[in-house]
Structure 1
Amino acid sequence: MSVDNPADLRALIPGALACWPSAPGSPIGVVVEVATQQVRVMFDGVEEPQAFSVHAQVIERVLLTGMVRRASTGAIGMVQGMTTVSPPRWQVLIDNRLVTVAEADLRPHVLEDPRSRMLAGRFGTARQFYLAVTARRYENEQATNDLVSLGESRVDLKPHQVSVVHRVVTSYPHRYLLCDEVGLGKTIEAGMVLKELRARGTAVRCLVVSPPNLIRQWQFELKSKFNETFSIINSQTVKYLRETQRYEGNPFDAYESVIVSSAWITGPEWAKLATQSDWDMVVVDEAHHARARITGNRREETLLYRVVRDLVSPAAFSKRAALFLTATPMQLDSRELYSLVELLDPALFPTVEHFERHRSEVPGLNRLVHDLSEHGFPIPDVESRSVIDRVAGWLNLEEAEAEARLSDGRTSVEELCAELSALHLLSEVLIRNRKKLVGGFMPRHAHRSQVDLTKDERRALDAVEEYVHDGYARADRTNDQAVGFVMVIFQKMMASSISALRMSLDKRRIRLEQRALEPTLGKRAARLVADIEEGMERDDFVSALLGEGAVADVEEANELTRLVALLDKVPVDSKAETLLTQLRVLAEQEPNPKVLLFTEFRETQEHLRRRLEELGWEVCMFHGQLKPEQKDAEVDRFRAAAGPSILLSTEAGGEGRNFQFCHLLVNYDLPWNPMRVEQRIGRIDRIGQVDTVQVFNFWVKGTVEERVLNVLERRINIFEETVGVAGPRELIHGL
């Protein structure tokens, strides 16, 4: 359509393009609000809108003519005419096709190549030319120096962190697994890599994928320590962009620095939009959640794995940096590590069989490098000829040359160790520092807290164990995966808390009786079963599975009624009493102690909260069902508590959160995954800890916890043999 009144093209209205001619660079932005006294404009590259007095008349409407560029896609087109005045929309010819585009998504397209500037008569002065040449010289120096931004961060960098940053930045295409032990500062390393790559102009657009409970912490640390402003994108952000800003493009293109929740981005719509955006760098925190289980020809991938695979796809290998942060890249199986390596460098191990073959050779190489690094040559209590043969074999040297280099002093041995380490193919994409080698950490001690059950408790738990055993058998006969996992939960609860067990059994009884009226397994239950592996890490999953995974069974409901009544007759909770007794002793020995306690179950957490409040301690709660601001408030309250205080946390606090102001940790119940043990302890055993770390491991004699200790010991060997000692071995020995 044509515009009858040319004044309409000059009016400042919401959605119109405006500029500030008198400001440096004449910034352009979109009018977001026009009031009687003021107009508010969101300028490009600015996070908050800026207000101007209407009477000052410093803001002008941008007149769109000739060539324009879409801000959302970068497409270049030619303006044909305005279609609507309010909101302002234009008809634009793009790729020989007429499209209608909101004015807010258009920008004047100015050709800046030398020929166009000369034809347009846009010449600079001699001083501008000199300044441009000087700036380009400094830019080239920054791009070629090893590290240029170390002094720009507000953090006390450690030598091992500088080493990690140097290695990633100088190794193209900057795609690594950062697997430092918990507490060594992987977030700092990632922030420094980002800062370095941005100084070189190679990481303008960056996406951080973080667990939901850590997105605000990431945003705070990137801003406070590196002065990098990141926007959190979620459903509310998208709604604001579309409804308030009238932004019609991909929401991920609206910002250059973005943080998203790993749970939110797995939604089909958001995953598609995120992968369509062109990123220079992708950071995935707690990357072990993006995993694939490989069994024979069967491959099971988590939703997050599929999203991350698309974000760091082979097509983007040469142009997209990628950092995967995790202290525990393998949860249970070595092939989980392979699935992450495969994303970063698909050519490093052509097949999983190649990876497994190399992994089987690595332990001998690891031990050889470790012994030579620690003791030099000869190695105490090791036959020298054996060492010479192994070095010669690994490096394809003559024995005489290997012996000469080993005997040529410390520097020569260090050079040999570097050559041997290079044979470890995982070192091409994986970096792991250990506290033992980094040094400077406080010692840590593990204490075993055995719980002896009363006769009443033992009688009740024996009855529950018989029910669980029958449930396993029924699940096996009927191939009912949901029932099988419900029985796993009950078996864990038997060692956690009588109260939690009683509540969960009763919840299942009620649901079984309700299912008598709706006997089919719902779609939600099917989804829960499909997501069981990831779900066990969420606080709300257990409750949902107990309810949705129930199919009408009058006989089972009656048995649960009997068990609940039996548990109600148990007068004492020996495990809770043991905890209370030890806390009373602790309060006498240490003034105003702070204790971080982990449990796997919300029911146990609530039970302990009631008991500990009776003791007079300040009790703080941390679990996955709290909103982000509530979690932050509970952590702040725990940190600021003046008297005896305890933070009761589920696994939601086992990742990413920093509690180095506390040095006492209680594993009230033991996770069956050894990597969870390391994650828990790493919350307090980290940079900044000034006291000896004390870990108290509770275990109930005669329950599954007594048997799980050997399993933990065996499983931790998988990771140790592949990339080095995982960390909490001494804590398992202490159990």
Structure 2
Amino acid sequence: MTSFVPGQRWSSAAEPELGLGTVLRLMGRSVQIVFTGSGEIRQYALTGAPLIRAEFRSGERVWVDGRERTVETVEERDGLFVYRIEGDEVHEGALDAEQPLALADRRLLAGQVDRNDRFEFRVEALEQRARAQADPGFGVLGARVDLIPHQLRIAELAAARRPVRLLLADEVGLGKTIEACLIAAQQLASGRARRVLVLTPDSLVNQWFVELVRRFNLAFAVFDAERCAALEAAAPGTNPFEDAQCVLASVDWLARDAARAEAATAAGWDLLLVDEAHHLAWSPDGASAGYRLVERLAAATPGVLLLTATPEQLGQAGHFARLRLLDPARYAELDAFVAEQAEWVALSALVERIVEGAAPDATQRALLARLLQQDAAAVDARLQTAAGDAAAREELLDALIDRHGTGRVMVRNRRAAVGGFPRRVAHLETLPAGDDGAAAARLREEFEADAGRRAETAADYARDPRTDWLLRTLEELAPAKVLVLCRTRARVQALEEMLRTRADLAVARFHDDMSLLQRDRNAAWFAEPDGARVLLASEVGAEGRNFQFAQHLLFWDLPLDPDVLEQRIGRLDRIGQRGDVHLHAAAVAGSPQACLLRWYHEALDAFTAPVADGRELARRYGHALVGQALDAGGDAFEALVADTRATHAELAEAIARGRDRLLELASQRGAEAGALLQAVADADAGSADDDYPLRLLEQFGVQHEPLGGAQWLLDPEYVTVDGLPELAAGKRQATFDRALALARDDLLFLRPDHPLVLAAQDLLLSGDGGNAAFLVDATLPPRSAVLEAVYVLECVAPRALAIERLLPPTPLRAAVDTRLAVRSEFAPSDVARLRAGDRDIDLSPYRKALTTLVPKMLDGAHAAVQEQVEACIAGALAVAQARYAAELERLRALARVNPAVHPDEIAALEAERDAVLAVLPNARPRLDALRLVVGGDFLTALRGR
């Protein structure tokens, strides 16, 4: 076992950019190491840790107090190294954290060299990693999402906030969850966030888990009472929420458990996501336990994302309550907020006039003059110009958007503005009741179970009145694919059994008792053109899944919650759906289900348009609906339908009146021309011809075989290393094609930021494979050699600075010959590279000669690369200065007209700028790989030395 001593210096082989670390303490079977340069503390197992002891030999260069100096001698005292450096005694703890640690020269001097192809692939891997980390899309390149402009634009805007605190309030179906996950993925990839907490209602925990894993490759740990108890039992006295960096939990559970809520708050987070935030009740007189929990977490967490229903659904107090969580200083008084909102509602009418090119009235012109701080004549002139000039009109709207208070903390897109949504086509039937009393009783029992009034009974659909309708509908729709949804796993299994005996159909099933991999495979079978025609899915099993390649959704039963119905429809009715969505539902006359179907269709119009006020309607009428349905309708039910319809119309009118038109324009501004959208699209365009991920995996024995149709089969049969968990279960299929990855959840979407690619890349670059190579090139002059040195320019910095976007670990190459002349243009001949093939060469007999020859050449290479180092640092500094200058200029201009821009936000950006400009000059080149290229007679000459 490796011996660790507090004070020793170590480097992470997997993350050399952390700089030199110092052993803090030994803790049982682990060691804790602090990386002061990057502000990280890591805990490693004592055995198998990816750590390299920092030991510098006589003649090697080290950095002390920002100066590069030469080691004269080294001795070990009590497990710690003490260096004699230019006459001074320097303990290893005094070495700078920004200390490159090189191993390639030691391998070459020992005669331990690899094949030429391994050296060249290592260099390619360094280049690929640098390009990927500098890509603006890194972190979301491999997200399994459509490139929808408004979603990527929101992620891009969030990345520019310090910190990000946003209310995501898009209309249903526009992808609030995807937007939040895009932001979280970027924050994690950039290092701005390391600890993320996601809180959702009980019913959505599974959906979020699937969404995070399947779409974004983000593995969140689901925490509940049982998991916390197990963690505490294993490690008494510890906070269970510190066991994982990314946690997903139920807000309802934490709100009920004060001790767990306190532990979650004390654990500390960088980013908090709260779904369905409108469930958190607040009034000036008090707040719910859930609201108080989120309030405490939001106050202690830099980044906060709240996902909520549209503001018009919340009422002014509810909307204020959500904004208050994000910015309690700005939104401190409800009355002041109500007055401010009244002005912005009035402004919405003005904006509509400007958009339409119509003349505002006198009141609206006065409002515009006050907002723009211009006199009436100037405003009239500006309006006159805007009426006939589209560019001037956009400029005027931009000026108003900049002054919009809630536009800084809130995003709100509408389906009508985004476009691209399908039409809903309802196919509803009332089935004859017949005289089967037992069947009617079973339907009543099923409804009571759905309403929570009794336990679920065993389902048998052999004699169910809906069975013939289901079979007839499936036959009429052939060969179209049909998604059949019902509430429970038991119903899925009963339907599958019935279809197996009554129909000759290829049927896949999909329920919550299946593993994610099983669900992926069944979904893939359903997606295949020649695969399953029908997918039977339970409500929970289908959460987080979209089947946009299908256009027919059949409801075996209906949920009692309008929001759940909307979620079901949302499996097909999503932005990007290519055709109309056909909704099929039937109910037996006189049954409770028939009343429910009528209520949805006649009162809510739920099968032809999204229901924005469904939660409020369920709150007001849900209890009465269940009672009336069980009483088989009648006059009271007819009155309930009429009342619901009237209330629905009133709420729809209130929503329309309360629209913030300016906020909607702000949310759409620049979406089509977003830099993130362009970056991901460009990466997609180049991915089809880039087989780097396949060749990378091949380095570890993963064989690949083309399957056609942009698919590959990855076979890990000959893999001999750990660290590739995606292949632990055996063969996997993969693709580089986004459209195919969207249609097939079972395919690995291999992009530069996919966990499998990153893991393989880390395994390669943290090892010594290919870092020392030898090549014979007969085209070189007799008895000559060229040493190629590949350095990686690394900037040790706190991860929150996201320094890689300015200066990723950049490979630099220097070459010198035996006369120490710089050979910048040198490249070995293709013939030499071809002849090298996969032959291994043993240089151990030449170690003495190499020790004489290589160090001088390496000194020359080190000197030669300094010019490149200075150029790279200068370039990164110039880019950083320009970016921060532009961002700060824009932010200060906004602050002058928009009270939502805090001085703290400007100060945070200035502090970040100063920190970035301070660390960039400290970037150091680390020797990563060496290749000694010699003439045909060079080895013969070496033997004589």
Give TM-score scaled by structure 1 length: 0.56
Q: CA deviation at 1:274?
A: 0.7
- Closer, same or farther: CA 385–722 of 1 in aligned 2, 3 Å: closer
- Closer, same or farther: CA 673–336 of 1 in aligned 2, 3 Å: farther
Q: Does 1:659 align with 2:554?
A: no
- Corresponding residue for residue 273 of structure 2: 283
CA contact (8 A) 2:483 2:554 kept: yes
Query: Which residue, out of 290, 294, 304, partners 1:322?
Result: 304
Q: CA deviation at 1:683?
A: 2.5
Q: Does 1:502 align with 2:484?
A: no
For the residues of structure 1 that align with 2:341 and 2:545, how far apart are their CA atoms?
A: 32
Letter matched to residue 150 of structure 1: G
- Corresponding residue for residue 205 of structure 2: 212
- Closer, same or farther: CA 573–358 of 1 in aligned 2, 3 Å: farther
CA contact (8 A) 1:262 1:304 kept: yes
Letter matched to residue 685 of structure 1: D
Segment of structure 1 superposing worse, 40-49 or 669-678 = 40-49
- Corresponding residue for residue 153 of structure 2: 163
Query: Which residue, out of 531, 540, 551, partners 1:642?
Result: 531
For the residues of structure 2 that align with 1:126 and 1:433, how far apart are their CA atoms?
A: 47
Query: Which residue, out of 383, 388, 391, partners 1:411?
Result: 391
Q: CA deviation at 1:207?
A: 1.9
- Closer, same or farther: CA 191–256 of 1 in aligned 2, 3 Å: same
For the residues of structure 1 that align with 2:337 and 2:587, how far apart are their CA atoms?
A: 37
Q: Does 1:684 align with 2:674?
A: no
For the residues of structure 2 that align with 1:256 and 1:312, how far apart are their CA atoms?
A: 17
- Corresponding residue for residue 401 of structure 1: 378
Query: Which residue, out of 166, 181, 186, partners 1:176?
Result: 166
- Residues 152-182 of structure 1 show CA distances to partners (whole Å, capped at 9, x for unaligned) of 5324654323431343343444211122344
For the residues of structure 1 that align with 2:397 and 2:276, how far apart are their CA atoms?
A: 30
CA contact (8 A) 1:180 1:432 kept: yes
- Residues 20-41 of structure 1 show CA distances to partners (whole Å, capped at 9, x for unaligned) of 96865578697888xxxxxx99
- Corresponding residue for residue 558 of structure 1: none
Query: Which residue, out of 402, 417, 430, partners 2:410?
Result: 430
- Closer, same or farther: CA 118–19 of 1 in aligned 2, 3 Å: closer
1:323 counterpart SS class: strand
- Residues 82-115 of structure 1 show CA distances to partners (whole Å, capped at 9, x for unaligned) of xxxxxxxxxxxxxxxxxxxxxxxxxx9xxxxxxx
- Corresponding residue for residue 477 of structure 2: 586
- Corresponding residue for residue 141 of structure 1: none
Q: CA deviation at 1:593?
A: 1.0
CA contact (8 A) 1:12 1:18 kept: no
CA contact (8 A) 1:286 1:326 kept: yes
- Residues 96-155 of structure 1 show CA distances to partners (whole Å, capped at 9, x for unaligned) of xxxxxxxxxxxx9xxxxxxxx999675447995999xxxxxxxxxxxxxxx974245324
Q: Does 1:708 align with 2:597?
A: no
CA contact (8 A) 1:205 1:257 kept: yes
- Residues 296-331 of structure 1 show CA distances to partners (whole Å, capped at 9, x for unaligned) of 95x673x54443232113xx3xx6110123456777
- Corresponding residue for residue 256 of structure 1: 245
- Corresponding residue for residue 326 of structure 2: 344
- Corresponding residue for residue 772 of structure 2: none
Query: Which residue, out of 387, 412, 430, partners 1:451?
Result: 430
For the residues of structure 2 that align with 1:247 and 1:502, how far apart are their CA atoms?
A: 47
2:194 counterpart SS class: coil
- Corresponding residue for residue 272 of structure 1: 262
Two-structure CA RMSD over aligned residues (Å): 5.5
- Corresponding residue for residue 183 of structure 2: 193
CA contact (8 A) 1:182 1:686 kept: no
- Corresponding residue for residue 468 of structure 1: none
For the residues of structure 2 that align with 1:231 and 1:583, how far apart are their CA atoms?
A: 40
For the residues of structure 1 that align with 2:197 and 2:97, how far apart are their CA atoms?
A: 40
After the TM superposition, which residues 417-566 of structure 1 pair with which residues of structure 2 at under 5 Å, given as runs?
A: 417-421=397-401, 425-439=405-419, 441=420, 443-451=422-430, 453-454=432-433, 499-503=442-446, 542-543=451-452, 545-546=453-454
Q: CA deviation at 1:654?
A: 7.4
For the residues of structure 2 that align with 1:149 and 1:261, how far apart are their CA atoms?
A: 33
Q: CA deviation at 1:283?
A: 1.6
- Corresponding residue for residue 534 of structure 1: none
Letter matched to residue 216 of structure 1: F
For the residues of structure 2 that align with 1:127 and 1:292, how far apart are their CA atoms?
A: 50
For the residues of structure 1 that align with 2:372 and 2:431, how far apart are their CA atoms?
A: 56
CA contact (8 A) 1:592 1:644 kept: yes
For the residues of structure 2 that align with 1:351 and 1:667, how far apart are their CA atoms?
A: 46
If asked which structure has higher relative contact order (CA below 8 Å, sep 6+), I would say 2
For the residues of structure 2 that align with 1:695 and 1:389, how far apart are their CA atoms?
A: 50
For the residues of structure 1 that align with 2:498 and 2:659, how far apart are their CA atoms?
A: 43
For the residues of structure 1 that align with 2:556 and 2:43, how far apart are their CA atoms?
A: 45
CA contact (8 A) 2:6 2:22 kept: no
- Corresponding residue for residue 144 of structure 1: none
Letter matched to residue 260 of structure 1: A
Letter matched to residue 413 of structure 2: N
Letter matched to residue 294 of structure 2: V
Letter matched to residue 243 of structure 2: A
1:407 counterpart SS class: helix
For the residues of structure 1 that align with 2:170 and 2:150, how far apart are their CA atoms?
A: 10
CA contact (8 A) 1:223 1:230 kept: no
- What is the percentage of aligned positions where both structures have the same residue? 27
- Closer, same or farther: CA 643–125 of 1 in aligned 2, 3 Å: closer
CA contact (8 A) 1:42 1:50 kept: no
- Residues 628-655 of structure 1 show CA distances to partners (whole Å, capped at 9, x for unaligned) of 67766765564468132033433x3675
For the residues of structure 2 that align with 1:368 and 1:300, how far apart are their CA atoms?
A: 36
- Closer, same or farther: CA 618–571 of 1 in aligned 2, 3 Å: closer
For the residues of structure 2 that align with 1:118 and 1:717, how far apart are their CA atoms?
A: 80
Structure 2, unpaired ranges of 5+: 14-19, 35-40, 55-78, 80-87, 103-133, 605-644, 665-945
Q: CA deviation at 1:51?
A: 5.3
For the residues of structure 1 that align with 2:309 and 2:516, how far apart are their CA atoms?
A: 23
- Corresponding residue for residue 351 of structure 2: 369
For the residues of structure 2 that align with 1:586 and 1:683, how far apart are their CA atoms?
A: 19
Q: CA deviation at 1:694?
A: 3.1
- Closer, same or farther: CA 412–26 of 1 in aligned 2, 3 Å: closer
Letter matched to residue 411 of structure 2: I
- Corresponding residue for residue 153 of structure 1: 140
Give TM-score scaled by structure 2 length: 0.45
CA contact (8 A) 1:32 1:42 kept: no
For the residues of structure 2 that align with 1:592 and 1:176, how far apart are their CA atoms?
A: 41
CA contact (8 A) 1:600 1:669 kept: yes
For the residues of structure 1 that align with 2:292 and 2:208, how far apart are their CA atoms?
A: 20
Aligned residues: 526
CA contact (8 A) 2:168 2:305 kept: yes
CA contact (8 A) 2:138 2:186 kept: no
CA contact (8 A) 1:209 1:259 kept: yes
